[in-house]
Structure 1
Amino acid sequence: MSGHYSVMIVDDSAVVRQNLTTILTKDPNVSEIFTASDPIFALQKMQNYWPDVIVLDIEMPRMDGISFLKKIMAERPTPIVICSSLTQEGAAVTMEAFSSGAVDIISKPKLNVGGFLEESAETFLRIVQAASQSRISKLAIPNTSKPQIHKTNTDNKISADTTWKLVAIGTSTGGTNALETILTELPPLSPPIAIVQHMPEKFTAQFAKRLDSICQVGVKEAEQGEEIPPGKAVIAPGNRHMTIRMSGARFYVDLKDGPPINRHRPSVDVLFRSVSQQVGKNSVGIIMTGMGDDGARGLLEMRKTGAYTVAQDEASSVVFGMPKEAIELGAAEAILPLRRMASEILSKGGHAGSRF
């Protein structure tokens, strides 16, 4: 989808609807804006005109946002951006929205919603614009029937003579489901993984928690100074940059504040650049679906220092912005579909020896 697009705002708060409408009018590419106070009204309006993007609240009367989202995805898949409260409870429910097909999220607080949304106007417009360009048919909807995983402790199996590479992954729009697709395919003992997924704070912790419950590898929100051993994936916290420090053959997390890079915090470029400087050829860099160019230059730096670098191909990307920029820079040694990523991580990320 390109050029002009229409937006439907579904939120029971008149203040939110008015604020988001005002913000959207600043984008000359937005052709029409529709609003509805709940999903039932939205469905009535959508009988006459179907929007290109839906901005959706979760908690609403008559029908909740999750039920509405699932209904839309079953009948006529449409890019949906969740507008959810910045709370632990809101974050937990929002993860279900992602697994059901939402492409991105804009957070909102319980109080002073109007002021917050004005401050977040640029971010909101960028997210909606990315949604308008997304190809929802490429969205990797994970298998929700996966059983609860009972992990086994592999720490005592890791020895000093094991050869591992650090895998650094960067993604944005469409990345939550893509990451779930990859991580659920990895065995318990896999290369150490560091991930930047553009997502607001508090939501990253819930995202990691959800992944940990369905993956054989351990998944968690990164903490300052922690080690990333084999069999573990860490996700940069929302609103914090994540860098990697190498000591001996071990990899450690450093979290930083500082200004947004490429309008993002965490930034994929920040992660990739630290990996190129600290880890070099003992690393694998993967850039995946997302709008913009965050991570493209960092991936090029990784390749120049001897890392193996991969970009997701256009056919499997929800938004081909970030991978495309990396490919055009010559940053990607390989261009692969999403379904190949897990096997590539295992192939290029090192090994643990046959005795395991």
Structure 2
Amino acid sequence: MSPKIKVVVVDDSALVRSLLTEIINQQPDMICVGTAADPLQAREVIRERNPDVITLDVEMPKMDGLEFLSRLMRLRPTPVVMVSTLTEQGAETTLRALELGAVDFVTKPRVGVASGLQQLADDIVDKIRIAARARVRRVAAAPGAAPPAPVAKPALSAAPPATSGIPRLSTEKVICIGASTGGTEAIKEILMELPPDAPAVVITQHMPPGFTASFAARLDSLCRIRVAEARDGERILPGHAYIAPGGKQFSLARSGANYIAVVDDSPPVNRHKPSVEVLFRSCARVLGPNAIGVMLTGMGADGAAAMKEMRDAGAYNIAQDEASCVVFGMPKMAIQAGAVHEVLPLKQIARAIMERVAAAGVRHRI
């Protein structure tokens, strides 16, 4: 038998510590080896118990969770699952935690904590299992560092920056991205590299309600393209990225010569809502050879079968390589399904996309 996953729970609430300990110890493959009420206690417990995974509250006394996470990822990188309250401020803090190296997060109910955490038990232990297999990275940025200045958005008709080395682009292509665990940072890295007149980008990132609006706003402040949550019925335009709203399904439809966003409340697919399978299946049907598919880091097989449908319909597909993934589940499944043309490190994906788009534009002009 494999050794049990050793977990340390860090939370200022004695009730939450007790509930999480009980949930963890009920699993045959994991054990809570220690708890701490604040980061100062946590340092000693982590040093003594050497956990495989840490669950970490965001708001705690003596040192907030972000400061502790930052120090941990600089000095002793360990997989961390954040426990976050579902508020607008909580969403912003959680996204910052993911930037600092947290693997994933769980939303802690504001009321009815005992019943709420029990209802989330399956999600909590699934994320602990995923975190135990994740590749954590050493992050140098301090949590109090000033955020990057917002990026000015040039008019969409403006020429790409001279440094991009990419000619004027065809607007026929649509970039279709699927991601899960580790995907928020991977998506950010790709979108920040795209020029302002890049083709439209449609994205499904596994994320619960209440977080995708903050995620989109954060990306919009950093990228030269415009980034927003997808809205039902809106036209999909070049120079824009559209993120599936948490708790909804996002797909594409055609209206005449235009691509249109479809956002609805249809059931989960592969246990996910939003699901990459839903988006990619619509991309195969609606976009055909005009799609460029990208499968990024994440656990499971969501989207793999639909990405193969995209390839069969003429799309060109890229998967993130194992070395740069936090979790190599979704890209691996897409590769095994025969859905992928290229497997690339994360840092090379944006340029590969734009070179593909530029080449398609040249062929179109010829």
TM-score, normalization by structure 2: 0.89
Aligned CA distance change for structure 1 residues 258 and 96 (closer, same or farther; 3 Å) = same
Alignment of 1:91-102 (within 5 A): 91-102=91-102
In structure 1, what is the Cα distance between the partners aligned to 2:332 and 2:24? Answer: 27
In structure 2, what is the Cα distance between the partners aligned to 1:338 and 1:322? Answer: 14
In structure 2, what is the Cα distance between the partners aligned to 1:229 and 1:66? Answer: 36
Q: Which runs of 5+ in 2 are unaligned?
A: 160-168
User: 2:59 matched to which residue of 1?
Assistant: 59
Alignment of 1:243-322 (within 5 A): 243-322=251-330
User: 1:224 matched to which residue of 2?
Assistant: 232
Letter paired with 1:313: D
In structure 2, what is the Cα distance between the partners aligned to 1:29 and 1:80? Answer: 18
Letter paired with 1:14: A
Alignment of 1:17-96 (within 5 A): 17-96=17-96
Q: Deviations over 1:153-176 (max 9, x none)?
A: 31699xxx9542111100111111
Letter paired with 2:300: G
Letter paired with 2:293: G
Aligned CA distance change for structure 1 residues 145 and 12 (closer, same or farther; 3 Å) = closer
In structure 1, what is the Cα distance between the partners aligned to 2:32 and 2:109? Answer: 26
Instruction: Report how many residues are paired.
Output: 350
Letter paired with 2:156: T
In structure 2, what is the Cα distance between the partners aligned to 1:26 and 1:204? Answer: 32
1:140 Cα shift?
A: 11
Structure 2 residue 205 is the aligned partner of structure 1 residue 193? no
Identical counterparts, % of pairs: 45
Aligned CA distance change for structure 1 residues 14 and 37 (closer, same or farther; 3 Å) = same
In structure 2, what is the Cα distance between the partners aligned to 1:38 and 1:88? Answer: 23
Report the secondary structure of 2:49's partner residue: coil
Structure 2 residue 115 is the aligned partner of structure 1 residue 115? yes
- Which 10-residue stretch deviates more, 244-253 or 344-353? 344-353
Contact 1:138/1:316, CA 8 A, preserved across alignment? no
Report the secondary structure of 1:62's partner residue: coil
In structure 2, what is the Cα distance between the partners aligned to 1:170 and 1:208? Answer: 15
In structure 1, what is the Cα distance between the partners aligned to 2:3 and 2:151? Answer: 44
Alignment of 1:128-143 (within 5 A): 128-137=128-137
Letter paired with 1:91: A
Q: 1:151 aligns with which of 153, 172, 183?
A: 153
Aligned CA distance change for structure 1 residues 222 and 167 (closer, same or farther; 3 Å) = same
1:206 Cα shift?
A: 0.7
TM-score, normalization by structure 1: 0.92
1:232 Cα shift?
A: 0.7
Q: Which runs of 5+ in 1 are unaligned?
A: none
1:221 Cα shift?
A: 1.4
Letter paired with 2:86: L
User: 2:355 matched to which residue of 1?
Assistant: 347
Aligned CA distance change for structure 1 residues 140 and 179 (closer, same or farther; 3 Å) = farther
1:182 Cα shift?
A: 0.9
Q: 1:334 aligns with which of 334, 342, 359?
A: 342
Q: Deviations over 1:209-254 (max 9, x none)?
A: 1111111111111111122211111111111110111234432211
Q: Deviations over 1:328-355 (max 9, x none)?
A: 11111111111111012212246778xx
In structure 2, what is the Cα distance between the partners aligned to 1:26 and 1:312? Answer: 35
Q: Deviations over 1:40-66 (max 9, x none)?
A: 111121221221111111111111000
- Pairwise CA RMSD of aligned residues? 2.4
Contact 1:167/1:349, CA 8 A, preserved across alignment? no
User: 1:177 matched to which residue of 2?
Assistant: 185
In structure 2, what is the Cα distance between the partners aligned to 1:82 and 1:266? Answer: 21
